[in-house]
Structure 1
């Protein structure tokens, strides 16, 4: 097992060990940390994920977005491009289904889709993050491939912010050339910002 896979296993075990009450409190505190980002008030199109596997809860964020007239988009596995994501608008009445990984996504992915380049802010899941804005995902590369165009000079939309429990922070991650850095990570305890 390589270093990244060992770290993934360890961090996933730690976040799954949190009790339902700890998870609920963490998701509430996460929303408070996100409130420290001035841009969140201005943006209109926000992509977020439905939490699973011990990920920090996103339901309070989704509810806040709907109350503040933000359009919420969920990632959907792209049916044609391997390991890439589409983003489909989500409302409380959107019919949902489980994808091949068991993750909830909109049942009709073609309905109200938005290109990744038109989203203002992406709140991304992660398994681990480090002090330099490095992100360790699940290993499929979906987000890295979808946002690989951000490595080109002068392109800065959307802003990528990771969401995590503070216990998912490590000093340094083994980073690969294809990894897309984050501009910030919001946790239940802090907002970590990074220079791009």
Structure 2
């Protein structure tokens, strides 16, 4: 078996186990974790100064960051949700989200802003124009490495952030603390994060300091 195939199988098995862990949380444990996570996020300087913030609607047991929405509005920040670009592209746009935003299920059955509503087209913000992105994680480790759902949408969309020049948003991964492992198998295409925040801890990888 080649190294790349072994890594793929290893990550696939671990992803399945970590998704099982978060789905197994009780409703009470979820609510407690959501509140604890949002308290930690509100205290971070990069969250407090951000004005264009991308987040997500929780799915498949993901920790919920939507309690931040009202707080962001009070601070004059705008919230954005990811929208899948055409199937052949596998990248993300970001569209402003508010209480009256028309929504539609994407090809994975996840709700996202409807980019065309009647005669109007929602403004699509490119990834580099954001100030902050909160990414849902499937897993993370103490070194600040991350594992996503495996589709590579965030990795492709934010691959430009590896460069040292030009504007780029701060990237913060979020997860339940039960999704933490000692060490993750890393792929070369994984985009590094500036921080990882769970309901129990904040991790800042040394490369982002």
TM-score of Structure 1 vs Structure 2, range by shorter chain: over 0.9
Displacement after TM superposition at 1:172 (Å)? 1.3
Aligned pairs for 1:126-145 (under 5 A) are: 126-145=137-156
Displacement after TM superposition at 1:154 (Å)? 3.2
- Alpha-carbon RMSD across the aligned residues, in angstroms, is 1.5
The answer to whether the aligner puts 1:100 opposite 2:107 as a matched pair is: yes
User: How far apart, in 2, do the equivalents of 1:112 and 1:57 lie?
Assistant: 25
* CA distances 1:89-135 after superposition (whole Å, capped 9, x unpaired): 00011011111111110012651221111100000011001122211
The answer to whether the aligner puts 1:52 opposite 2:59 as a matched pair is: yes
Equivalent position of 1:41 in the other structure: 48
Structure 1 moving runs of 4+ over 3 Å? none
User: How far apart, in 1, do the equivalents of 2:31 and 2:73 lie?
Assistant: 19
* CA distances 1:128-162 after superposition (whole Å, capped 9, x unpaired): 01122211011000000000011122356211000
Q: CA 1:81–1:158 in structure 2 vs 1: closer, same or farther (change >3 Å)?
A: farther
Aligned pairs for 1:44-193 (under 5 A) are: 44-79=51-86, 82-108=89-115, 110-155=121-166, 157-193=168-204
Larger radius of gyration: 2
Equivalent position of 2:13 in the other structure: 6
5+ residue gaps, structure 1: none
User: How far apart, in 2, do the equivalents of 1:39 and 1:167 lie?
Assistant: 25
TM-score by length of 1: 0.94
TM-score by length of 2: 0.89
